[in-house]
Amino acid sequence: MSQEFFTKHRATLEQAIEITRCRDYWSPYPEVPSGKIYGEAAAAAGQAAFEGRLHQRFVLQQPGSVADVGDEVSPYGFGLGVRYPKTELDQLLPAMQASLPAWRDAGAEARAGVCLEILARLNKRSFEMAQAVMHTTGQGFVMAFQAGATHAQDRGLEAIAYAYEAMSRIPPHSRWIKPQGKHEPLRMDKTFHVVPRGLALLIGVSTFPTWNGYPGLFASLVTGNPVMVKPHPATVLPLALTVEVAQEVLAEAGFDPWLVALVADSREAPVTKELARRPEIRLIDYTGSTAFGNWLEEHCRQAQLYTEKAGVNSVIVDSTDNLQGLVHNLAFSLSLYSGQMCTTPQNIYVPRDGIETEQGWLGADEFAQAIAEGITRLLADGERAAELLGALQSENTARRIAEAARLGEVVLASEPRGHPRFADARVHTPLLLKVGAEPSDRYDREWFGPIAFVVATESTDESIERSRGSALAHGAITWSVYATEAAVLERTQHAALEAGVALSCNLTDGVYVNQSAAFSDFHATGANPAANACLCDAAFVANRFRVVQTRRHAV
């Protein structure tokens, strides 16, 4: 059956491998939530499936389930009431270890077939997934469908492509014939076995559980490692659905379904620290706070660790020949999902004397005002604003906005907003502050959420230097620069190479610095403190398996 899956999806896999090398646009999972593509009944069926989950037990095929946990609350204002199995690790871990040899020995093609079928079935359930992502993370529906379902599937496929390609480079056999001058050559037959590291742990993040989770999940699984999925207690459902689909496909293919297992916990009794330190855990993928990421690095030395932590993203504004495009683009970036993306800009550096634009010189204060007005304009329509902003995943972010308002001159105040359909949704518009470059400790740290600073500097060179220093000290995943002169773009790019940050230049059209496209954009670099890995590159997969060889004299 897994061989059938492989045959079925082989062309997709081969195209994915090819595309990672040219990095053009490609996706096999349509991002438009349209009935024409997914079937006219799909949207309603997805919503019904989601609603059918509410206030029910979520049943999974895995040993060691001893009780129920779960207290998710939609950021749109209602409790989900889904109860997940609480797991006895001393039962689950040995069971997963016992399942490993069959999964390892099935080989790369069989494992890739299963993983690709999991993604194909997840794709069919994208409307249901979108509901689950929306009502746990707070993303607007379309974003939840895209980032939470189809783009996450892209990222999963990308990881499978890299990992499959890496395994394919290990020949199963070789005959080694070494000449010995006049004597008979030495002949050895060798076999090479891809072996997994052991059990893998995926620690999910509350805001992008699938998009940030699928790369590690599929990279570990396809290389032979059973995967324990530990979601954030606020955002369990999207990963529980993922585990359910994975278990269904694994079982159909004749493997133990608990090769992918859910470990749900609660805020009151978290299990991540205990789990991550278990000696059986040999791989950990983590997205989340810097503090917990540092704790993992300190304490989980038995495991290979891939972390995406926090960062402080910069925008360097020097000059523009399209002020309106700049303002719209930046306003959109700051508003999208209320700034709850690891790619959202935070600090917008502008020379205090102002910038040159095609409409003439613009002072720093006027520039800040223009951005504020851009945001206000963008969010004027209630329906559009609701979709764009989504809701705040955590109450803490609302508190953080209030706290940040004291840090500088408020250019645009954050305000709570009603939602057209969900009366109790936690919606707040962005806060925009203006500050001087010193003291920098006010703005030069992560303020997660819809909180941005216009930072007035002496010059663009100071803007670049502060961005560079900030990225090296605190990490950064994105930089954006606006400049009309090639030399300024060049200097910024030079600093970006040193700071290890992806740079977007003069974005004024329908691509935003927050967006990172699978197969084309490398998400994070692994070259500054924001992340020790990149989604997705060869380094992200190469160390998830090892090669053990056997050799003997050839007969």
Compute the least distance from the CB of residue 97 to its own copies, in Å: 10
Compute the least distance from the CB of residue 137 to its own copies, in Å: 24
Count of Cβ atoms closer than 10 Å to residue 522 Cβ: 14
In the bound state with its own copies, the residue whose beta carbon lies nearer, of 195 and 405, is 195
In the bound state with its own copies, the residue whose beta carbon lies nearer, of 402 and 538, is 538
Judged by DSSP in three states, 78 sits in strand
Compute the least distance from the CB of residue 200 to its own copies, in Å: 14
In the bound state with its own copies, the residue whose beta carbon lies nearer, of 408 and 500, is 500
Terminal-to-terminal C-alpha distance of the chain:
36
Task: Measure the CA–CA gap between 125 and 122, rounded to whole angstroms.
Answer: 5
Closest to 196 in 3D by CA, of 289, 280, 133, 120: 280
Judge if the upstream peptide bond of residue 416 is cis by omega within 30 degrees of 0. Answer: no
Compute the least distance from the CB of residue 236 to its own copies, in Å: 32
Task: Measure the CA–CA gap between 169 and 502, rounded to whole angstroms.
Answer: 29
| Maximal C-alpha separation, the chain | 89
Judged by DSSP in three states, 177 sits in strand
Compute the least distance from the CB of residue 512 to its own copies, in Å: 11
In the bound state with its own copies, the residue whose beta carbon lies nearer, of 59 and 177, is 177
Residues near 267 by beta carbon (within 8 Å), at least 6 away in sequence: 71, 233, 234
In the bound state with its own copies, the residue whose beta carbon lies nearer, of 287 and 504, is 504
In the bound state with its own copies, the residue whose beta carbon lies nearer, of 48 and 177, is 177
Q: What are phi and psi of 185, to 5 degrees?
A: -65, 155
Compute the least distance from the CB of residue 538 to its own copies, in Å: 4
Compute the least distance from the CB of residue 154 to its own copies, in Å: 12
Mark 107-118 as b/e (b = at least 16 C-beta within 10 Å).
bbbbbbbbbbbb
In the bound state with its own copies, the residue whose beta carbon lies nearer, of 193 and 417, is 193
Q: Beta 78-79 vs 73-74: how paired, if at all?
A: antiparallel
In the bound state with its own copies, the residue whose beta carbon lies nearer, of 215 and 450, is 215
DSSP letter string over 329-341?
Answer: HHHHHHHGGGG-S
Compute the least distance from the CB of residue 85 to its own copies, in Å: 29
- Give residues in contact with its own copies (CB under 8 A): 20-25, 32, 101, 104, 166, 169, 171, 174-181, 186, 188, 190, 192-193, 195, 197, 297, 301, 493-494, 496-497, 500-511, 517, 520-522, 525-527, 534, 537-539, 542-543, 546-553
In the bound state with its own copies, the residue whose beta carbon lies nearer, of 228 and 496, is 496
Compute the least distance from the CB of residue 541 to its own copies, in Å: 8
C-alpha dist (Å) from residue 347 to 55, 173, 344, 438: 42, 54, 10, 13
Q: Answer left, alpha or beta for residue 354, where phi above 0 means left and psi between -120 and 50 means alpha.
A: left
Task: Measure the CA–CA gap between 163 and 19, rounded to whole angstroms.
Answer: 14
* CB neighbour class for 52 (10 Å; exposed up to 12, middle 13-18, buried from 19): exposed
Compute the least distance from the CB of residue 499 to its own copies, in Å: 8
In the bound state with its own copies, the residue whose beta carbon lies nearer, of 275 and 531, is 531
Task: Measure the CA–CA gap between 550 and 538, rounded to whole angstroms.
Answer: 26
